[in-house]
Chains A and B, each alone.
Chain A
Amino acid sequence: MERESTAYFKAIGAIVWKDLAAELRSRELLSAMLVFAMLVILIFNFAIELQPSLRATITPGVLWVTFAFAGTLGLNRSMAIEKDRGCLDGLLLAPVDRSAIYFGKALSNLAFMLIVELIVLPVYSLLYNTNLFNPGLLLTILLGSIGYVAVGTLLASMAVQTRTRDVLLPILLFPVILPILMAAVKTSGGFLQSAPMETIWPWLNILIVYDVIFTAVAFMLYDSVVEE
C-alpha cells in the first residue's frame, strides 16, 4: 500500500517535471500565452477608456478576462502535445491510477498559468500606474487559477479528442467557470480597494467551495475521459 502511494506521487511529480523541462526548452507555450495576454491588455486599452478614476473598478475585470483567454491557449497546447504524438497512450500505459495523469497535467497547467499571471501583474502595474502587489490579490489569483485549471484540464482532455479541438475548449469552459470569474473579480476588487473583509468573504468562500468541489469531481471523472 505504501509503495503504491509513493509510486502515485512519483508519477505526478514525473509528469510535472516533464512538462516544465520540455517547456523550458521550447518556451512555445509560455511565449504564446504571454504575447496573447499582452495583446488582450492592449486591446482593452483602446476598447475601454481606462481613465484613472475608473481604473480601480475595471482593473480586476480586465485582468481576469486576460487570464481566462490566455489560459485556454495554455490548456489547449498542453493537451495537444500529448495527443499529437500519441504520448497520451504512453501515459495511459503506465501502471498508475489515471487520476495521477490528471493531477500531473493540472499541476503543470497551474504552474504555467501562474507564471504568466505573475508576469502580467507587474507589466499592468507599470502600464497603468496601479500598484498590484497586494497579498490579497495574489491569493485570489492563486485560488481562481486553481479552479480554472481544475475544470480546464478535464475539459481540455475532452476537447482535444474531438474534431473541433481548439475552438471547442473556450465554448465548453467559459459558461462553466463563470462562478470563478465573478468571485475572482469581486475578491480582487475588494482587496485592491481595501474593502472590509465582510464584503470580500462571501466571494472568497465561493472561490474556495468551487475549487474543492470541482477538483474532486474532475479527479473522479478523469478516468471516463481518457479510457477507451
Chain B
Amino acid sequence: MIEVHKLAKRFGLKTVLRGLDFQVAPGEFVAILGPNGAGKTTFLRILASLSRPTFGEVRVAGYQLPKQAAAVRSRLGVVTHQPLLYGDLTAEENLRFYGRMYAVPDLDCRISDVLELVGLSARRRDLVRTFSRGMQQRLAIGRAVLHDPEVMLFDEPHTGLDQDACDMLDGLLRNVAGRGRTVVMTSHDLARVEDLATRFDVLSRGVIAASKPRSGLGKRNLLDFYRKALAG
C-alpha cells in the first residue's frame, strides 16, 4: 500500500531524512516511534503529499508522489496536530465543507453517519470553537474518514488530550482501523500505541532504525526495543 525507497528530505542545508526505506502492506497498522525532532512529522507530511521529497521514491495506494498527488489525496485521510477545523462553523458545516471539497456522494447521509461514528451527533449544530480539544480531535477524525479513504495517517493524535479523551480516541481509532484500512501513526507515547498497532517502527537519525511486528514483541519489550533501536 505504501512503498518508500531511499527517501531523503532536506530543508536548505539541513538533512532531516536520509535514505529512508519503508513498506506497509494493506490493512497494517504501523506505529512510527521516535524522539522529538527525529523527522516523524516531516515523514508523515511527505506521505500526506503536503511536502515534496528531495530524493527518493514514494508510492501510496499505487500512485507516485509527488507526480500523481491528486490521485493519492482522494484515497488519503490525514489527522495532524492541528484539527484543521474552522472554529466559526458548526461541526456539521465543517463536515459539509470538506465533503464538498472531496466531492463526497450522498453527503447529508454521510455526515450523519460520521457524526454518529465519532459520537458528536448531539453537538452537530454547535460551533467548533466551543469544543474541547478532545472533541475537536474526534471531529477531525470524522473529517478524515468522510470520503472513506483507504489509507489513514495520524500525526501524534493523542497530543494535548486527557485520559478520558485518549480512551475515547483509542476506541475510535480501533473502529476506524478495523475496516481494513491501512494506518500509519506517529507517536512518542509508547503505552498508548502498544495496544493499537500491528507493527512498530523506530525512526532515528533520519532513517527507520528498527522495525518489529506485534507478534515478535512481549508487553515489557516495547520499551526495550525502542531504547535499543535508538542506541544502536
State the A residues within 8 Å of B (CB): 3, 6-7, 10-11, 13-15, 17-18, 21-23, 25-26, 81, 85-87, 89-97, 227-228
Contacts and interface: CB of A to CB of B under 8 A. Distances in A.
Q: Which 9 A-B pairs have the closest CB atoms?
A: A86-B82, A14-B100, A90-B84, A95-B74, A22-B88, A94-B101, A95-B73, A228-B51, A7-B103
A23 B84 CA distance: 17
A3 B105 CA distance: 12
Nearest to B70: A95
Given A13-B100, A14-B100, A95-B102, 14 more contacts: A18-B89, A21-B88, A21-B89, A22-B89, A25-B89, A85-B83, A85-B86, A86-B82, A90-B143, A92-B50, A93-B48, A94-B98, A96-B70, A228-B52
B interface, over-half SS: loop
B81 interface: yes
Contacts of A90: 84-85, 98, 143
A86 B83 CA distance: 8
Given A93-B48, A94-B101, A85 B73 contact: no
B81 A86 contact: yes
Nearest to A23: B88
A89 B97 contact: no
B87 A85 contact: yes
Interface string B195-207: 0000000000000
Contact of A10 (B51, B83, B89, B100): B100
A227 B87 CA distance: 24
A86 B100 CA distance: 19
A25 B101 CA distance: 21
Given A89-B50, A90-B98, A94-B73, A25 B88 contact: yes
Nearest to B71: A95
Contacts of A6: 103
Nearest to B143: A90
A97 B70 contact: yes
A89 B70 contact: no
Contact of A93 (B73, B97, B127): B73
A96 B84 CA distance: 17
A25 B94 CA distance: 14
B84 A85 contact: yes
A3 B103 CA distance: 10
A199 to B, nearest CB: 46
Interface string B43-87: 001001111100000000000000000110110101011111111
A104 B72 CA distance: 22
Nearest to B48: A93
Given A26-B88, A93-B78, A96-B70, A21 B93 contact: yes
Nearest to A7: B103
B97 A18 contact: yes
A10 B98 CA distance: 11
Contacts of B52: 227-228
Nearest to A90: B84
A87 B86 contact: yes
Nearest to A101: B101
B49 A93 contact: yes
Contact of B80 (A13, A89, A97, A228): A89
A226 to B, nearest CB: 10
Contacts of A17: 97, 100
12 contacts: A11-B100, A14-B101, A15-B101, A17-B100, A21-B88, A21-B89, A87-B84, A89-B50, A89-B84, A95-B71, A96-B101, A228-B51
Contacts of B50: 89, 92-93, 228
